[in-house]
């Protein structure tokens, strides 16, 4: 608390005391730049003020230059989470020394040990695992927190060992699967200032008032220039308060709503036929006999598998161009049925996807959809007319992918955008995720020495590789070749989709085979589908570690699986933990996972080390965090930690007479050189040098302003990217970066008519894979969320809270003081009343999978039938340490196991099965009511075993 | 992780063979930097003798022949009666112990660290056995000579571009930040020949060369 007093003090008071306190509080002797490297899609530049070697406070920088005339700038960029970061430096949950557990895992007893002892013990475990099982038994969880210099070191060690890293997107399920199905990629996001240019903003599966605080002003500013803001959500959330129209959709029925809007657009002839014909697969012909696209191989023996057809209104059957979206003189029919002769002379009827879409939409008349999604038919019609002919942008968070049928929701939302011609122009598109490319970071993993000449060697090599690929596929775009290159790297890299690890080693197999929790259109068991996918080689080379490779050593670096894992803490503790010889957590705080680890290594926090936020298109800036103070206690940066671990592994391997081994991919690993290889013979001795190299290489490759170095970052705090990179993630945004323009995604597709990286090379709404046909999901449709967790009356949803990014800020005293400071179950008044629950009661939330208990908050803003628990509360904040994830089975959708179908093939951070955790079905009861005849879900009984665990 | 890795991707190298570097505008620039660097390296016997024999002017004139812009070498000659001791004394008077050190004008440790990184990134070691500090004018001019030569000798157009951009950026970020001021100060102190001429020459050349490179590639 700061007391204020006028100069000279208040009459009759101890004059200067309060003034001195004030001035003392806000004084400083040094200022550096800082940012927080959190998974919030922002990299807000902060000024960090230090006094006497300690961080005193931080402030939003507010120094970002405007980009485009007439468009508001990004300033001030920041939020209360960033502004309270410094509080955590001194937090009680900081880890300041290497710790080794004493007694049972999770017993809560620790001893401080030296770094030497800690690293030696870990190194021995790693070597034992390699010796006895192989390097794939050493498993690292990839992270989305901490910035690039937190992640790069352990990824580097894993790569040198031949270990496995579990794809972060398969863990946190942020992957917009429906966008990938439609566009062949998920990198669809423009810069956030593009929001300002929209006529209609649909806040859909997003609550930016909580989760995008630095960017929210663009929504308000867009309204000032006349834009309409529509909030589509089950609950009347904080973002809905400022909207023009609130569309209260029942949880999990967004596809029905979107398709009903599409139906109105088509019925009222409000759709953009030319856009649809040019950009999408809607003109492509589908066979009536088998539901597959008509392909060249159908028409001629030896024909091509990936040449598709349309029906020209003048010339009839014509191959659709693959090298471009430009149709030239072609005028494809969007309706009709024609007969074509197959190669064997058999006639078959064909019809364009557009006609199939119309048939599909016939099931979504507004009145019928209203009965499904709970949105009045008149609102649906209003919404359709509102978006027709307007520049419409969907602001989507990462909520939809967390529904079991989130892919169908997103595909339907994309169809709405297609029918209204809404991508590739300013103020349009779907604003989810998009990664820029910090080329220097990518080059780094391939460099064998420092410097520009090595960077040029690698870049020239990549160019040659792409040239060779282009010779094989002359119609491929740079984006497609970049993706192919990434795919090649994946086959020799460490990243693996976690679905197989979870299935074989973490106890999910039984859960995923519970048919009653999955979709009824599954005709076989999950086992059958997964086995089929593996047998067909759809996941060749990345289904690691296999069933016969038990994990032995598990590294969690800035991740928190016991808090996050869909399936619950108990799933991992009961299934994975007993298999592990060593669990190593590297973190700056004692997370739930750290509490159950064997060794915890203390990590330096932002403000105590140099770091950069990952490149993301939302700000399109590389933001820098400097070392304002030395790391507290014995904490170290991840670079120092893993460089030292690499050295110790090498030393202890040599002492064992172990010099090299061959990994599962038949690569020889020189373990005795590990220490030197990690730092490239000393070229990269510390993170300062590493970051400087990344920045210089990025500048040289054209993604940062020429001549940029770490000193540029140190001076300016953040730098706007000048390009999206040479490689796949950046190229997928399909647009150019210009210094004085808002960056709008997909302009290459719309303006330059470059094809999409999909099977059909068009935005693809029709997936003719046999599994999709079998499931009735060849086109987007609505399906009810499966009864995950059992047939209980309340749908549990979630979202990022206003107070933290995941669990990172959960120990922050200031932020805890801005709310009740404990986990909350947010319930509607009707549901609370029906259960005799009042605000402040302790309730049990349970289903057939598990249970947890927390305080209830009763509010009219939640719809009846819905219950919300915001993301991020640590399990130890709940009784018995049973967190909200205990009721989440973590079901994955079987269709996402499809591979080797055009764009449906694994890429790191891309296409793969991701677990669902929204619309899990539960019951809520007052804790005091137990045993009084209340029906209690079975999980609530089974879950009592957890009482012994806390 | 929000990033990708290409670790493990195998890249094939294209054989480059023996590369012959023809004399051209870039090698001419390299040669001028080399000569200027050598002059400002010390006021010792070799430099005196070259001045006495008119070799500085001759070599600079020859080197400048292929330059892409005009460079007036002027009269780089010893004044009558200046012996080796006077030559060395004038060098010492003008430049003392710090005048030729770029970092002396700002935060020297930071400047040294910064130029160190430049040298290392572009392939030079800047170890403790170097004859002069890394922020010495002669070292910086030698670095520019190296960058020009590497541009001329690079088998990869990409790499040649990198070395060219580095010249522009190093000139703008380091040399031009302090050399004009140093030249002005030395001239104000009444620099004798040949130092006055060489000071003019280095001042004009680094500015013109930066203008030339910037015009070529922008910035």
Domain ranges, ordered by start, for chain A? 27-89, 794-887+919-948
pLDDT at residue B126 in the model: 65
> What pLDDT sits at residue A5?
44
Residue A870 has pLDDT above 70, yes or no: yes
Q: Indicate whether B5 belongs to any domain.
A: no
User: Which pLDDT score is estimated for A940?
Assistant: 59
Task: Choose the mutation target among A619, A707, A711 for the interface with B, i.e. most B CBs under 10 Å.
Answer: A707
Q: Is B158 on the interface with A (CB under 8 A)?
A: yes
Q: How many CA atoms lie within 13 A of A308 on its CB side?
A: 29
Cβ separation B11–A458 shorter than 8 A: yes
Please report the pLDDT score of residue A407 as a whole number. Answer: 98
Q: For chain A, give the percent of residues with pLDDT over 70.
A: 96
Handedness of CA A286, A290, A295, A299 (dihedral sign): negative
Give bridge partners of residue A826 from the DSSP assignment.
A857, A868
Question: Residue B159 is part of which domain span?
Answer: 25-217
Cβ contacts (< 8 Å) between A435 and chain B: which residues?
2-4
Pairing of strands A392-396, A429-431: parallel
Q: Look at residue B14 in the predicted model and tell me its pLDDT.
A: 63
From A487's Cα to the closest Cα of chain B, the distance in A is: 9
Asked if A393 contacts A201 with a C-beta cutoff of 8 angstroms, the reply is yes
Q: Which residues 45-104 of A have a C-beta within 8 angstroms of B?
A: none
Q: Nearest by CB to A489, which of B7, B123, B172?
A: B7
Within a domain: B2: no
- CA B11 to chain A, closest CA, distance in angstroms equals 5
Q: Which chain A residue has its CA at the smallest distance from B151's CA? A: A453
pLDDT at A3: 45
Closest chain A CA to residue B150:
A453
Q: Give Cβ neighbours of residue A896 (< 8 Å, ≥ 6 apart).
A: A177, A407, A911, A912, A913, A914
pLDDT average, residue stretch A828-851 = 97
Nearest CB among B13, B154, B159 relative to A461 is that of B13
Residue A261 has pLDDT above 90, yes or no: yes
* A709 in contact with B, Cβ within 8 Å: yes
| Chain A residues near residue B219 by CB distance under 8 angstroms | 706-707
Residue-wise pLDDT for A714-754, tens only, equals: 999 999 999 998 877 789 999 999 999 999 999 999 999 99
Model pLDDT for residues A624-641, shown as the tens digit of each residue:
999 999 999 999 999 999
Q: Using one digit for the tens of pLDDT, what is the confidence trace for A352-402? A: 999 999 999 999 999 999 999 999 999 999 999 999 999 999 999 899 999
| Distance between CA atoms of residues B201 and A650, nearest Å | 55
Q: Is the pLDDT of residue A943 over 50?
A: no
Q: Tokens at residue A270, please?
A: 């409000």
In this complex, the residue of B4, B11, B166 whose CB is nearest that of residue A728 is: B4
pLDDT tens digits, A663-708: 988 999 999 999 999 999 999 999 999 999 999 999 999 999 999 9
User: Cβ separation of A457 and B2 shorter than 8 Å?
Assistant: no
pLDDT of residue A785: 97
Chain A residue nearest residue B173, CA to CA: A707
State pLDDT tens for residues A221-237.
999 999 999 999 999 99
Q: How far is A712 from chain B (nearest CA, A)?
A: 11
User: Domain A794-887+919-948 carries which CATH code?
Assistant: 2.40.40.20
Closest-CA distance, A664 to chain B, in angstroms, reads 14
Report how far residue B148's alpha carbon sits from residue B212's, in angstroms, rounded to the nearest whole number. Answer: 13
Residue A12 pLDDT = 52
Looking up tokens 């160190």 gives B116
| C-beta atoms of B123 and A452 within 8 A | yes
Q: Please report which helix (H) or strand (E) contains residue A16, including its range.
A: helix A15-25
CA proximity to A730, closest of A706, A751, A704 = A704
Q: Which residues pair with A855 in a beta bridge?
A: A824, A842
Strands, E, within A469-521: which ranges? 495-496
Chain A, residues 428-487, CB within 8 A of chain B, namely 435, 438, 441-443, 445-446, 450-453, 455-465, 485-486
The reported pLDDT for the residue numbered A939 is 64
Q: Chunk chain B into consecutive blocks of 10 residues (it has 219) and report each block's average pLDDT, rounded to whole numbers.
A: 61 64 93 96 94 95 95 88 95 91 89 91 80 92 96 92 95 96 95 95 98 91
Q: Which residues in chain B are contacts of A909 at CB distance < 8 A?
A: 1-2, 4
CB pairs under 8 A between A and B: 137
Residue B207 lies in a domain: yes
Among A732, A737, A766, A765, smallest CA distance to A749 is for A732
A195 pLDDT more than 80: yes
Q: How far is A792 from chain B (nearest CA, A)?
A: 36
Q: Shortest CB distance from B13 goes to which of A446, A457, A693?
A: A457
* B186 within some domain: yes
- DSSP for A578-605? GG-SEEEEEESB--HHHHT-SEEEEBPP
Return all residues near A806 (Cβ < 8 A) that are at least 6 apart. Answer: A39, A145, A560, A563, A564, A800, A871, A872
Gap from B128 CA to chain A (nearest CA, Å): 16
Q: How far, CA to CA in Å, does A49 sit from each of A55, A61, A809, B138?
A: 6, 11, 20, 39
What is the arithmetic mean of pLDDT over A9-14? 53
B1 — contact with chain A (CB < 8 Å)?
A: yes
Whether A410 has its CB under 8 Å from any CB of chain B: the answer is no
CATH number, position B62: 1.10.3480.10
Cβ distance B5 to A693 less than 8 Å, yes or no, reads no
For position B218, what pLDDT does the model report? 84
What's the total number of domains in chain B? 1
Partner A contacted by B155 (CB < 8 A): no
Compute the average pLDDT of residues A217-224.
97
First and final C-alpha spacing in chain A: 35
Interface probe with B: pick from A157, A159, A451, A619, most Cβ of B within 10 Å: A451
Interface touch A453/B159, C-beta < 8 Å = yes
Mean pLDDT of chain A: 94
CA distance A58 to A84: 8
Question: Does residue B141 lie in a domain region?
Answer: yes
Residue A235 CA to residue A860 CA, distance in Å, equals 9
Could you tell me the pLDDT band of residue A948, with boundaries at 50, 70 and 90?
Answer: very low
Residue-level pLDDT at A18: 78
Q: What is the pLDDT of residues A447-488, one digit of tens each?
A: 999 999 999 999 999 889 899 999 999 999 999 998 888 888
Contact A692 B121 (CB under 8 A): yes
Chosen from A489, A694, A906 to mutate, greatest number of chain B CBs within 10 A: A489
Share of chain A above pLDDT 90, in %: 86
Q: For residue A920, give the 3-state DSSP assignment.
A: strand
Task: Decide if A442 and B4 are in contact by the 8 Å CB cutoff.
Answer: yes
Å between A492 CA and nearest CA of chain B: 5
With CA atoms as reference, the chain B residue closest to A691 would be B117
DSSP tag of A280: B
Interface touch A489/B120, C-beta < 8 Å? no
Would you call B11 and A456 a contact, using CB atoms and an 8 Å cutoff?
no
Q: A414-428 pLDDT, tens per residue?
A: 999 999 999 999 999
Give the pLDDT confidence score for residue A14 in this predicted structure. 60
User: CB-CB: which of A442, A446, A614 is closest to B11?
Assistant: A446
């Amino acid at each position: 608390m700061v007391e204020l007093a006028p100069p000279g003090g208040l009459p009759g008071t101890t004059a200067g005391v309060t003034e001195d306190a004030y001035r003392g509080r806000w004084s400083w002797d040094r200022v550096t730049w800082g940012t927080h490297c959190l998974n919030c899609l922002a990299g807000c530049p902060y000024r960090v003020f230090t006094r006497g070697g300690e961080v005193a406070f931080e402030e939003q920088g507010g120094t970002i230059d405007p980009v485009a005339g007439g468009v508001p700038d990004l300033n001030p960029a920041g939020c209360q989470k960033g502004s309270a970061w410094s509080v955590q430096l001194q937090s009680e949950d900081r880890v300041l020394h290497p710790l080794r557990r004493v007694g049972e895992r999770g017993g809560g007893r620790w001893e401080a040990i030296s770094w030497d002892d800690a690293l030696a013990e870990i190194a021995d475990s790693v070597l034992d695992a390699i010796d006895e099982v192989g390097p794939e038994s050493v498993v690292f969880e990839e992270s989305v927190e901490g910035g690039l210099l937190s992640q790069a070191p352990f990824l580097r060690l894993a790569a040198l060992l031949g270990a496995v890293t579990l794809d972060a997107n398969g863990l946190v399920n942020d992957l917009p699967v429906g966008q990938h199905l439609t566009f062949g990629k998920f990198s669809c996001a423009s810069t956030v200032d593009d929001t300002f240019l929209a006529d209609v903003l649909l806040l859909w599966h997003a609550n930016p008032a909580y989760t995008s605080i630095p960017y929210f002003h663009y929504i308000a500013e867009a309204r000032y220039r006349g834009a309409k803001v529509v909030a589509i959500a089950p609950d009347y959330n904080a973002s809905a308060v400022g909207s023009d129209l609130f569309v209260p959709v029942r949880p999990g029925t967004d596809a029905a709503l979107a398709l009903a809007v599409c139906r109105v657009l088509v019925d009222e002839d409000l759709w953009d036929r030319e856009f649809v014909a040019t950009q999408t697969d809607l003109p492509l012909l589908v066979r009536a006999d088998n539901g597959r696209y008509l392909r060249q191989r159908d028409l001629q023996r030896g024909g091509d598998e990936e040449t598709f057809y349309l029906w020209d209104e003048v010339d009839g059957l014509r191959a659709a161009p693959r090298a471009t979206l430009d149709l030239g003189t072609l005028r494809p029919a969007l309706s009709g049925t024609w007969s074509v002769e197959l190669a064997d002379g058999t006639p078959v009827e064909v019809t364009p996807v557009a006609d199939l879409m119309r048939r599909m939409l016939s099931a979504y008349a507004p009145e019928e959809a209203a009965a499904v999604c709970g949105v009045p038919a008149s609102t649906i019609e209003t919404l359709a007319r509102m978006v027709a002919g307007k520049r419409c942008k969907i602001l989507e968070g990462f909520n939809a992918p967390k529904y079991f049928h989130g892919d169908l929701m997103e595909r339907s939302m994309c169809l709405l955008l297609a029918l209204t011609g809404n991508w590739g122009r300013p103020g349009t598109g779907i604003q989810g995720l998009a990664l820029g490319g910090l080329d220097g970071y990518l080059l780094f993993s391939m460099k064998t020495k420092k410097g520009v000449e090595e960077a040029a060697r690698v870049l020239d090599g990549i160019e040659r590789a792409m040239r060779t690929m282009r010779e094989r596929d002359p119609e491929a775009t740079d984006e497609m070749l970049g993706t192919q290159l990434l795919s090649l790297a994946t086959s020799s890299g460490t990243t693996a989709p976690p679905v197989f690890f979870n299935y074989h080693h973490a106890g999910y197999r039984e859960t995923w085979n519970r048919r009653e929790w999955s979709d009824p259109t599954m005709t076989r068991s999950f086992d059958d589908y997964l086995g089929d996918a593996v047998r067909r080689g759809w996941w060749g080379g990345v289904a690691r570690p296999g069933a016969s490779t038990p994990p032995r050593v598990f590294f969690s670096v800035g991740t928190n699986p016991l808090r996050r894992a869909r399936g619950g803490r108990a799933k991992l503790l009961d299934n994975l933990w007993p298999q592990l010889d060593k669990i190593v957590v590297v973190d700056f705080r004692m997370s739930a996972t750290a509490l159950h680890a064997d060794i915890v290594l203390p990590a330096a926090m932002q403000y105590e080390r140099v770091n950069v936020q990952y490149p993301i298109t939302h700000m399109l800036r590389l933001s820098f965090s400097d070392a304002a103070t030395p790391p507290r206690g014995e904490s170290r940066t991840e670079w120092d930690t893993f460089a030292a671990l690499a050295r110790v592994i090498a030393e202890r391997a040599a002492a064992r007479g172990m010099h090299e081994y061959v990994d599962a991919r038949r690569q020889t690993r020189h373990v005795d050189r590990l220490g030197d290889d990690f730092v490239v013979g000393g070229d990269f001795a510390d993170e300062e040098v590493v970051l400087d190299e990344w920045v210089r290489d990025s500048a040289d490759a054209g993604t940062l302003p020429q001549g940029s170095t770490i000193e540029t970052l140190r001076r300016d705090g953040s730098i706007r990217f000048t390009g999206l990179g040479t490689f796949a993630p950046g190229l997928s945004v399909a647009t150019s970066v210009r210094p004085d323009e808002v960056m709008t995604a997909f302009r290459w597709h719309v303006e330059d008519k470059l094809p999409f990286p999909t099977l059909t090379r068009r935005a693809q709404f029709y997936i003719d894979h046999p599994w999709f046909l079998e499931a009735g999901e060849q086109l987007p449709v609505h399906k009810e969320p499966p009864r995950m967790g059992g047939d209980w009356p309340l749908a549990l949803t979630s979202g990022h809270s206003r107070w933290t990014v995941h669990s990172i800020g959960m120990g922050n005293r200031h932020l805890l003081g801005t709310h009740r400071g404990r986990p909350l179950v947010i319930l509607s008044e009707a549901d609370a009343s029906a259960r005799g629950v009042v605000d402040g009661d302790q309730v049990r939330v349970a289903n057939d999978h598990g249970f947890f208990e927390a305080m209830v908050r009763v509010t009219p803003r939640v719809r009846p039938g819905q219950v919300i628990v915001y993301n991020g509360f640590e399990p130890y904040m709940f009784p018995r340490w049973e967190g909200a994830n205990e009721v989440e089975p973590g079901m994955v959708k079987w269709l996402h196991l499809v591979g080797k179908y055009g764009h449906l093939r694994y890429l790191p951070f891309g296409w793969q099965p991701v677990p669902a955790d929204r619309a899990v079905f539960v019951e809520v009861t007052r804790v005091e009511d137990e045993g009084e005849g209340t029906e209690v879900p079975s999980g609530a009984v089974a879950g009592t075993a957890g009482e012994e665990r806390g | 992780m929000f990033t990708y890795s290409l670790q493990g991707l195998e890249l094939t190298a294209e054989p480059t063979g023996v590369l012959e570097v023809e004399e051209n505008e870039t090698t001419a620039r390299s040669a001028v930097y080399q000569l200027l660097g050598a002059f400002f390296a010390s006021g010792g016997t070799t430099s005196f003798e070259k001045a006495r024999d008119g070799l500085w002017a001759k070599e600079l004139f020859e080197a400048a022949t292929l330059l892409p812009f005009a460079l007036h070498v002027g009269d780089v000659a010893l004044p009558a009666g200046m012996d080796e001791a006077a030559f060395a004394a004038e060098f010492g008077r003008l430049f003392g112990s710090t005048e030729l050190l770029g970092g002396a004008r700002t935060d020297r440790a930071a400047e040294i660290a910064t130029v160190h990184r430049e040298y290392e990134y572009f392939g030079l070691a800047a170890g403790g056995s170097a004859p002069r500090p890394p922020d010495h004018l002669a070292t910086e001019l030698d670095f520019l000579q190296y960058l020009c030569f590497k541009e001329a000798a690079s088998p990869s157009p990409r790499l040649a571009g990198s070395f060219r951009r580095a010249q522009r950026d190093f000139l703008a970020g380091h040399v031009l930040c302090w050399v004009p001021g140093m030249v002005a100060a030395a001239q104000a102190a009444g620099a004798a020949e040949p130092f006055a001429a060489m000071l003019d020459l280095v001042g004009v050349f680094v500015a013109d060369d930066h203008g030339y490179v910037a015009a070529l590639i922008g910035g």
